[in-house]
Amino acid sequence: MDLLHRKQVSSRELHDTAIAAIEALHPELNFLISWNEADAAATLAKPLAGAPFAGLPFLVKEAVGMKGQPAVMASRLAQGMRCEADGELVTRLRRAGVIILGSTAGPEFGNAPTTESVLHGPVHNPWNPGRMVGGSSGGASAAVAAGVVPVAQSSDGGGSIRTPAHCCGVFGLKPTRGRTPVGPKSNGGYFGLSVPHVTTRSVRDAAAFLDVLHGDEPGALYRTAPPQRPYLQEVGMEPGRLRLAFSTASPSGEAVHPECIAAVLQTAQLCESLGHYVEDIPLIYDWEKFRTAFADVWCMSMPLAVAAIEAASGRAAGPDTMESSNLAILHHGRSLGAEQICRSAALLYSIARDVEHFFQQWDAVITPVNLMPAPRLGMINANGACQDMLDWFDLAISRFAAFTPIFNVTGQPAMSVPLAMSGEGVPIGVQFAAKVGEEALLIRLAAQLEAARPWRERQPMVHIAKYKA
């Protein structure tokens, strides 16, 4: 962006470079599901003067909702459906001046920590094409990691920004619930679990985009207090001496990969060397209760969503139109009664209160992002032999992504910071979470860590800088 602002490069040059990068790398990585050529050309022809990101090539996640773009959600059930209007987030992105080149891939209905849908096929990790990119913002993270675009839109309902950032070695910040808009079509974002933002290579870019995306949305179910100053101003500001708790024990009780443990321990030592107080204190809550309650709340809106798609597409939900994991989610959602939904919601609120009470003693908590570095493609099979919703939950969450969903329930901001590499050459992210509304603290801390242990110059195996036409 600095080159663009200083007029050392034109919007047309950036646009053409990004298009060439997509054409060069998409066949190998499979991160794009649709182009946005006419709309992008119109924006390029008439850039918004004075807009903070005027002329910046950009990709959105299919799930965000953009007029004229596919609304398929990687499902055969919804093939051919398109968005009728922009969502509020896209409206704000347009106002910021970005040139939206197309839509990135995610898993079916966004309900997996990997991006390997039956409809679109697997997205390949730029660091090792045999590894998964995470989900649900997998296409976005792959594109950013490969240098196709510097920033791509993403969203997080259980780890869907943080898990792909961990797998692909990029920076991923999930904002506080209500910080960024999810409407108007989706009023609550999975009842407050899902929050949109972006995936970036640098902390600075994440902060700059949060400045243009945050703010109350008319009629929004969830809202949060505005920041004291622009988030971009937090980058480089001294965070002060923070009280940081860290833990490497999975809340699910499953084993954590030694290299993910080592990444957290090394990060704790780094934070201590930067002057912070660091202590090994686990964040404890009842996983079995959390597991069943989270599954209920996640599944309860699926029957309504599927019914609407069936009516619009003329197709019926079944093995030929939906993956087995989502059929299990659908079946579970249909089995829920009002009493069970209310009980599960109350239980999650109770767990959230306990977690937030824990945070009264700590400025932030450090954990692994996931239980292992990016697994091999096919290891978490969303269309495998799935007996019921809890079988799928255990495969996808309990044994892989157990560290992330608690902060979707509490609504706290959390981030994946790419601070380590595995012995096999794939990235390892470290998760930091802070109190509700404390994105500024996380941005200051992340910028401090980025300065102490830079990651932007690391390039994966598949990267546009290595491509020779």
Q: What is the pLDDT of residues 300-351, one digit of tens each?
A: 999 999 999 999 999 999 999 999 999 999 999 999 999 999 999 999 999 9
Give CA torsion, residues 395, 71, 305, 314, to 10 deg.
-110
User: What DSSP letter does each residue of 123-144 carry, written as one string?
Assistant: PPBTTBTTB---SSSHHHHHHH
Ordered alpha helix ranges (H), 336-405? 338-358, 389-393
User: CB neighbours (10 Å) of residue 226?
Assistant: 11
Q: Rounded to whole angstroms, how far apart are CA atoms 174 and 200?
A: 12
Is position 11 annotated as part of the catalytic site?
A: no
Residue 190 confidence (pLDDT)? 75
Average pLDDT over residues 283-294: 98
Q: In this structure, which amino acid lies at residue 6?
A: R
The β-bridge relationship of strands 364-368 and 243-246 is parallel
**Enclosing H/E stretch for 199:** strand 195-200
| CB-based burial label for 241 (10 Å; 0-12, 13-18, 19+) | exposed
C-alpha–C-alpha distance, residues 360 and 363, integer Å: 8
What integer pLDDT is reported at residue 63 of this predicted model? 78
Q: How far apart are CA 454 and CA 448, in angstroms?
A: 10
Portion of the chain with pLDDT greater than 70, in percent: 98
Question: Predicted confidence band at 8 (pLDDT cuts at 50, 70, 90)?
Answer: confident
Q: Cβ distance 113 to 396 under 8 Å?
A: yes
Which residue is catalytic, options 137, 154, 160, 252?
160
C-beta separation of 189 from 195 below 8 A: yes
The single residue of 75, 103, 117, 136 carrying the catalytic annotation is 136
- Write down the pLDDT at residue 106: 98
CB neighbours of residue 337 within 10 Å: 8
Measured CA to CA, the distance from residue 139 to residue 129 in angstroms comes to 13
Q: How many CA atoms lie within 13 A of 462 on its CB side?
A: 28
Q: Which of 469, 463, 468 is nearest to 125 (CA)?
A: 463
Residue 4 has pLDDT above 70, yes or no: no
Q: Residue 414's beta-bridge partner residues?
A: 174, 433
Q: HSE on the CB side for 378, CA within 13 Å? A: 2
Using 50, 70 and 90 to split pLDDT, how confident is the model at 138?
very high
Residue 146 is given by DSSP the state T
**DSSP helix/strand/coil, 151:** strand
Whether 136 is catalytic: yes
Query: Looking at 61, 137, 154, 422, which residue is catalytic?
Result: 61
Domains of the chain: 2-466 (3.90.1300.10)
Nearest Cα residue to 134 out of 203, 213, 31, 250: 31
H or E segment to which residue 290 belongs = helix 287-299
Please name the helix (run of DSSP H) or strand (run of DSSP E) that holds residue 417, with its range, or none: strand 414-421
- At 181-231, the pLDDT tens digits run 999 887 666 789 999 999 999 999 999 999 999 999 999 999 999 999 999
Tell me which amino acid residue 408 is. Answer: N
Residue among 450, 440, 436 nearest 207 (CA): 440
Q: Which residue has the tokens 């692994």?
A: 368
For residue 186, what are the contacts with CB-CB under 8 A and spacing of at least 6?
65, 87, 194
Neighbours of 314 (CB within 10 A): 8
Average pLDDT for residues 241-268, to the nearest whole number? 99
pLDDT, position 191: 81
Cα(259)–Cα(257) distance, integer angstroms: 5
Q: Which of 268, 435, 261, 448 is nearest to 366 (CA)?
A: 268
| Cβ atoms < 10 Å from Cβ of 159 | 33
Q: Report the alpha-carbon distance of residue 96 to residue 399 in Å, rounded.
A: 39
Q: What confidence score (pLDDT) does residue 1 get?
A: 60
Check if 160 is active-site: yes
> Mind listing the pLDDT tens digit for each residue in 432-463?
999 999 999 999 999 999 999 999 999 999 99
Token pair in block for residue 418: 């790419």
